[in-house]
Amino acid sequence: MLTFILSRLFSMVTVVIGIITLVFLLIHLVPGDPVQVMLGETATIVAQEELRHSLGLDQPLHTQWWHYFTNLLQGDLGTSLHSKEPIVEKIGKPLWETAKLAIAGLFLAILIALPLGSLAALRKDTAWDSGAMLFSLLGISIPHFWLGPLLILLFSLQLKWLPVSGNEEWSSIILPAITLGTALASILARMVRATLLEILNEDYIRTARAKGLRESAVIIHHALRNASLPIITILGLQLGALLGGAVITETVFAWPGIGQLTVESIQNRDYPVVQACVLLISLTYVIINTFTDILYAWLDPRVHYRV
């Protein structure tokens, strides 16, 4: 097990270094000069060169990358070109807001998917099964940028039950969480259905029923418990996708998270903040996937025996 964990951690470090390099290159190779954005087009060439030198933007690209990498190792994400404040302080609150939204979306997805997928498996080839799979198909097909405004029109403007946008009230998180969690609930419901259909035909399920156990006990303690491994894998993979989807969702609902901060920083050509936001989302995705692999191996020892 220790060898398996070390191999996954080594792979994670390798991927992280690749992500840091890729994010650095993509941000620095896009068109546009941040110095002109900061000083304006009317600034003199001398003023531009002085600012470029003070920011280290006149150095070779590999030198800038090395400084960026060593600063990251020290926990220094740089300074915002737009607001002049340290990026670590700037992204603290948006990171917490995005984490709240992702957790709420994940909780909602589990709350919908487990009973829906279980019902579809237990009522296979019935109207319940068809309805659950139709919901899954719609949830996967509807994009966030369309579902979000639709929910605003219905629940905020027509029914006036929930706030339109922002984060002023506790209920403000409901519509963004629904928008973010619907696609995950759809994928998860299909996975629960497929896994349960396979497990319900196993010998130990028939044995449990033959022993006189109640059907609820058979499903909860035997079937769902053994179906947890692929479900955990999907949750780990999709939790990273939630952070990517949060960029669109936060923009639609004006949610003050990392997604909205990323969009605003792109518009302001605030390269260091964009780097930090993209890097943070990418690293979260990689770390979650790594620990999902480790958790999977801990729950099922056969996994690391095959590695």
What φ, ψ does residue 66 adopt, rounded to 5°?
-65, -45
- Give me the residues paired with residue 79 across strands: 86
What is the C-alpha to C-alpha distance for residues 167 and 160, in angstroms, rounded to an integer? 16
What φ, ψ does residue 79 adopt, rounded to 5°?
-125, 140
Q: Taking a C-beta distance cutoff of 8 angstroms, is the pair 112, 181 a contact? A: yes
What is the C-alpha to C-alpha distance for residues 307 and 2, in angstroms, rounded to an integer? 12
The Cα-based distances of 223 to 27, 122, 198 in angstroms read 48, 11, 10
In sequence order, the 6+-apart residues with CB closer than 8 A to the CB of 65 are 21, 24, 25
* Three-state secondary structure call for residue 168: coil
- Tokens linked to 71: 């600063």
- Tokens linked to 29: 């190779």
Burial class for 249, CB neighbours closer than 10 Å (0-12, 13-18, 19+): buried
What is the C-alpha to C-alpha distance for residues 140 and 127, in angstroms, rounded to an integer? 20
| Residue type, position 258, single letter | I
Number of other residues whose CB lies within 10 A of the CB of residue 33: 13
Q: Taking a C-beta distance cutoff of 8 angstroms, is the pair 194, 132 a contact? A: no
Domains and CATH numbers, the chain: 2-77 (no CATH), 96-267 (1.10.3720.10)
| Residue type, position 298, single letter | W
What is the C-alpha to C-alpha distance for residues 263 and 243, in angstroms, rounded to an integer? 14
What is the C-alpha to C-alpha distance for residues 190 and 43, in angstroms, rounded to an integer? 58
Which residue has 């997604």 as its token pair?
259
pLDDT in tens, the chain (307 residues): 677 777 778 888 888 888 888 888 876 776 666 676 666 667 777 777 777 777 677 778 788 888 888 888 888 888 887 777 888 888 888 888 888 888 888 888 888 888 888 888 888 888 888 888 888 888 888 887 888 888 888 888 888 888 887 777 888 888 988 888 888 888 888 888 888 888 877 777 888 888 877 877 787 777 777 777 777 777 777 776 676 667 788 888 888 888 888 888 887 777 788 888 888 888 888 888 788 777 777 766 665 545 5
What is the C-alpha to C-alpha distance for residues 147 and 198, in angstroms, rounded to an integer? 33
